[in-house]
């Protein structure tokens, strides 16, 4: 299937009506150990990369295709780990708007098993498989060292009170980034480039599959077509994943589509940073941005064609 950049993603109602697909076979895979990463700063992207409007996803034959995972009511019963009222600054700011719409889930099915927990020396974040051994996450979770290297990163897809028995964990060996973003607060430029692609030490995507990627277009602003998933510290202590549907993104019209910050009012909390925002085209999931940060009045995601180019470069140089 091919799509064009400005094609409109499926609405939430269309996704609800989409037909799920059962797996054709089953498979198991092993886990490896830790490795250190190399930092690869990409200052200029190749001319040919600009012609790429999308990168295709992959659903393995051994996984069901499911658009809405079952609610994990047992996992959602656990007490919240952070007091929202005392945690947020400045006073009166919030990242949960109205009733909390986040739903705890536990599902190996595609594409939910592509999302996982990211762990570095800076703490916990979220990420998504975007290639055979390629992880897309936020840049501000990357532990940049003064000597130019990057500290260890561990990714556990469908982490649920520990690494998933089927998928295990993988470790980063290379990291591609466009602009070095370092939290905890982000300035205007950093919020436009808060994404990184990490090459893992094994092809964990053989087990999980991976989502596709599209360059975000401002023509999609206001469409409540996006799903987000990640590992919040407040709701589950980053031990179990949540998702939320029907989120609208609003790109900055003053910025080019190559790199921009998008505001939204999806419900997020620290730990969800790096978690993907994706939509469906003909029932196929494409990531357009990752959770980045928040201001006193809204939350923000980061994406654009530079995100897509980083994915393409990492997958081309380290297939």
* Contact yes or no for 10/281 (Cβ under 8 A): yes
In the chain, what percentage of residues exceed pLDDT 70?
A: 85
Q: To the nearest whole number, what is the mean pLDDT of the chain?
A: 87
Residue percentage of the chain with pLDDT more than 90: 65
The CB density around residue 27, as the number of other CB atoms within 10 Å, is 12
Give the pairing of strands 170-177 and 38-41. parallel
| pLDDT tens per residue across span 286-317 | 999 999 998 778 899 999 999 999 999 999 99
Q: How far apart are CA 59 and CA 251, in angstroms?
A: 29
Helices (H), the chain: 12-17, 84-87, 205-208, 233-236, 305-317
C-alpha span between 82 and 268 (Å, rounded): 13
Decide: pTM greater than 0.75.
Answer: yes
Which H or E run contains 7? none
Residue 265 CA, chain-centre distance (Å), reads: 17
208-238 tens-digit pLDDT: 999 999 999 999 999 999 999 999 998 899 9
Query: What pLDDT, on a 0 to 100 scale, did the predictor assign at position 43?
Result: 62
Q: Which residue in 66, 70, 193, 79 sits closest to 142, CA to CA?
A: 193
**Residue 19: alpha-carbon gap to chain centroid:** 24
Q: What is the pLDDT of residue 95?
A: 84
Cα-based distances in Å from 272 to 63, 138, 223, 232: 25, 10, 21, 5
pLDDT at 19 over 90: no
Give exposure, 188-216, as e/b (b: 16+ Cβ within 10 Å): eebbbbbbbbbbbbbebbbbbbbbbbbbb
pLDDT digits (tens, 9 = 90+) for 238-284: 999 999 999 999 998 888 889 999 999 999 999 999 999 999 999 99
Reduce the DSSP state of residue 235 to 3 states and report it.
helix
């Amino acid at each position: 299937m091919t799509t064009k950049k400005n094609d409109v993603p499926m609405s939430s109602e269309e996704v609800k009506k989409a037909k799920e697909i059962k797996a054709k076979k089953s498979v198991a895979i092993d886990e490896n150990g830790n490795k250190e990463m190399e930092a690869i700063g990409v200052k200029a992207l190749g001319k040919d990369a600009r012609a790429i409007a999308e990168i295709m996803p992959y659903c393995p034959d051994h996984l069901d295709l499911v658009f809405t995972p079952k609610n994990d009511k047992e996992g959602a019963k656990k007490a919240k780990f952070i007091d929202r009222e005392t945690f947020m600054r400045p006073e009166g700011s919030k990242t949960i708007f109205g009733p909390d719409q986040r739903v705890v889930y536990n599902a190996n099915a595609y594409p939910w098993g592509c999302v996982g927990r990211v762990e570095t020396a800076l703490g916990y974040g979220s990420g998504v498989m975007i290639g055979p051994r390629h992880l897309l996450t936020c840049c501000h979770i990357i532990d940049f060292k003064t000597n130019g290297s990057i500290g260890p990163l561990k990714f556990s897809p469908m982490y649920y009170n520990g690494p998933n028995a089927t998928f295990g964990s993988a470790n980063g060996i290379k990291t591609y980034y466009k602009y070095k973003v370092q939290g905890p607060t982000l300035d205007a430029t950093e919020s436009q480039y808060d994404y990184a692609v990490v090459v893992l030490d094994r092809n964990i995507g053989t087990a999980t599959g991976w989502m596709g990627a599209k360059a975000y277009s401002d023509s999609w602003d206001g469409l409540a077509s996006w799903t987000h998933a990640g590992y919040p510290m407040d709701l589950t202590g980053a031990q179990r994943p949540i998702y939320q549907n029907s989120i609208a993104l609003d790109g900055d019209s003053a910025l080019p589509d190559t790199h921009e910050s998008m505001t939204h009012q999806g419900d997020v909390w620290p730990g969800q940073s790096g978690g993907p925002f994706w939509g469906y085209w003909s029932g196929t999931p494409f990531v357009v941005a990752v959770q980045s940060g928040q201001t006193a009045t809204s939350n923000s995601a980061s994406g654009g064609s530079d995100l897509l180019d980083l994915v393409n470069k990492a997958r081309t140089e380290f297939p």
